[in-house]
A and B are shown apart, each in its own frame.
Chain A
Amino acid sequence: QKEVEQNSGPLSVPEGAIASLNCTYSDRGSQSFFWYRQYSGKSPELIMFIYSNGDKEDGRFTAQLNKASQYVSLLIRDSQPSDSATYLCAVRDNDMRFGAGTRLTVKP
């Protein structure tokens, strides 16, 4: 069974701080990795994806991938209260499996 593990959280950071979200996966052959954000009562929405080892930046968000360690992370810089949500890590092979999610609260 392919596993995707995330910090159980909850994670609380002050406004303006950096939030760090982590994820590990069990299938060494996995190639595509995604971060989704889910607000309460809403459906998951894509933040960003990453395929290659290293960092990928998009505005305040940076995804980091280390395939050797089977580890992917998401950094949110200058966190805002509107970033408060559950963040889901996902791994895509033919199917797409999600971690349990980490609930982030950004306090004003």
Chain B
Amino acid sequence: DAGVIQSPRHEVTEMGQEVTLRCKPISGHNSLFWYRQTMMRGLELLIYFNNNVPIDDSGMPEDRFSAKMPNASFSTLKIQPSEPRDSAVYFCASSQQDREAGANVLTFGAGSRLTVL
């Protein structure tokens, strides 16, 4: 398996522009997580999905952020309009949602580094 695939790897944009980050989870995984990582705040959970359904989006900073998962193999995180404080590395991770030992381990993508000027 190719693992969790994220795109773009790097994005530089200007304040006010729309940003769309994409994620393809590992085939067979039914849980998908979006995280944001900064030096100041560490790894923050933004939203997660089980079976394509958003379960908890309480970590989404504000209405400028939205996430969708239209099918089991694709998810997007959109920021509109973007602001300089959104600059961070955004990680997507997937797992099986299963209580069996080891089955609910998260596997991370390589991340998308966003810079908003």
**Is the interface on chain B under 10, 10 to 19, 20 to 34, or 35 or more residues?**
20 to 34
Query: What CA separation (Å) do A99 and B93 show in the bound complex?
Result: 16
- How many of chain A's residues have a CB under 8 angstroms from any CB in B? 21
Task: Identify which of A20-28, A44-52, A77-85 touches chain B.
Answer: A44-52
Interface of B is mostly: strand
Q: What are the interface flags for B4-45 relative to A under an 8 Å C-beta threshold, 1 for contact and 0 otherwise? A: 000000000000000000000000000001010000001101
A96 located at the interface, meaning its Cβ lies under 8 Å from any Cβ of chain B in the complex: yes
Q: Mark interface residues in B88-100 (1 if CB within 8 Å of A CB, else 0).
A: 0001010101010
Give the distance to chain B from A61, nearest Cβ to Cβ, in Å.
Answer: 15
With contacts A98-B43, A99-B42, A100-B42 taken as known, whether A34 is within 8 angstroms of B105 at the C-beta atoms is: yes
Residues of B at the A interface (CB closer than 8 Å) are 33, 35, 42-43, 45, 48, 50, 55-56, 91, 93, 95, 97, 99, 101-102, 104-111
